Amino acid sequence: MTVNFSKTAVIGAGAMGRGIAQIAAQAGSEVLLLDSFEGAAGRGRDAILAQWRKLQEKGKLDAAQLEALSGRVHVAGSMQDLASCDLVIEAIVEDIEVKRALFRDIEAVVSPSATLVSNTSSLSVTAIATALKHQERMAGFHFFNPVPLMKVVEVVAGFKTDPEVCRKLAGYATQMGHSPVQAKDTPGFIVNHAGRGYGTEALRIAGESVADFATIDRILKDQAGFRLGPFELLDLTALDVSHPVMESIYRQYYEEPRYRPSVITAQRLAAGALGRKSGEGFYRYP
Ligand code: NAD
């Protein structure tokens, strides 16, 4: 089977970028990791190799497979190294102007036929794409955390996206072992839009002191079958990612009250209590 994209770049080697890079390599692509933060791409590669070593210990990979996979993930020194990539996946900070500036820089180095995608959780793919000369080559490609385990990928067509780009991305998601779902370019797409219903409401329940965080989490797991409660999920995602997502969906829906973000998450974000990544969130992570 020929992989749909033979050379994939992933920009942003954080929680999402490293997971996406891992499954892109598993699909058979050469992968380049780039991050603006000194040393972050190298740490991302190390984390991917550690995941594969765990799979080897469990007998799910043999030594030859581990070696082949490890040889497919490289750290890019600069944007110029991405020139020959046929797919660039952006997974940086959830800020539209920062993303738009990055896409302009990407388009200046890659070939006109390269596909460019954003892993944005909530921002308008159409609006990000307006930074490009060739908007038809850009789409949303939205993975979930942790990427290797969460099998759904939203493929989001912007206003000018070529349908063939979405078809090729959906095929690639399948080659990654994931399940693509086509979504319209609306704030939060499918999953993060539906997620407002319980995430924002859970914050209101806590804010009104009806129940504490742990009780709300426990009830939603025991009674509603959620794998993680809303506060556990906020800790996993990290508030520097999820609070801007709440704000962005609220703004894009013209301040519709039911999407109003919570002062609880705003205050915790300001205090740096981000979740697992800072060691302190709604729960403590020693
Ligand atoms: P993160 O903070 O873990 O990682 C972001 C990485 O991007 C960091 O390593 C940072 O150094 C790098 N970066 C920032 N600006 C950059 C730039 N201009 N150029 C290159 N690198 C840059 O964030 P994350 O959780 O991986 O989220 C990344 C994106 O994925 C966001 O758009 C977010 O909304 C989306 N997303 C996150 C989740 C989640 O659960 N965390 C789920 C789905 C989608």
ipTM for the whole complex: 0.99
| Gap from CA of 120 to ligand 1 centroid (Å) | 9
| Gap from CA of 222 to ligand 1 centroid (Å) | 31
pTM of the predicted structure, to 2 decimals: 0.96
Q: What is the pLDDT of residues 113-126, one digit of tens each?
A: 999 999 999 999 99
| Gap from CA of 64 to ligand 1 centroid (Å) | 31
Beta bridge partners of 117: 89, 139
In short, whether 98's Cβ falls inside 6 Å of ligand 1 is yes
Closest C-alpha to ligand 1, atom 29: 91
Of all atoms in ligand 1, which is nearest to the CA of residue 12?
A: 7
- Residue extents of the structural domains in the chain: 7-184, 195-278
Arithmetic mean of pLDDT, 236-253: 96
Other CB atoms within a 10 A radius of the CB of residue 59 amount to 7
Arithmetic mean of pLDDT, 218-240: 96
CATH of 7-184, one of 3.40.50.150, 3.40.630.40, 3.40.50.720, 2.30.30.40: 3.40.50.720
Q: What is the pLDDT of residues 69-108, one digit of tens each?
A: 999 999 999 999 999 999 999 999 999 999 999 999 999 9
Residue 197 confidence (pLDDT) above 90: no
Q: What is the pLDDT of residues 125-148, one digit of tens each?
A: 999 999 999 999 999 999 999 999
Share of the chain above pLDDT 90, in %: 98
- Cα distances from 192 to residues 131, 180, 188, 238, in angstroms, run 24, 16, 5, 15
Of all atoms in ligand 1, which is nearest to the CA of residue 242?
A: 34
* Six token digits for residue 215: 């009780």
Give the residue numbers annotated as catalytic, written as ranges.
121, 142, 154, 192
Q: Where are the alpha helices (DSSP H) in 121-238?
A: 125-129, 163-175, 191-194, 196-207, 213-224, 230-237
Residue 233 phi/psi, 5-degree rounding, is: -70, -40
Q: Which CATH class is domain 195-278?
A: mainly alpha
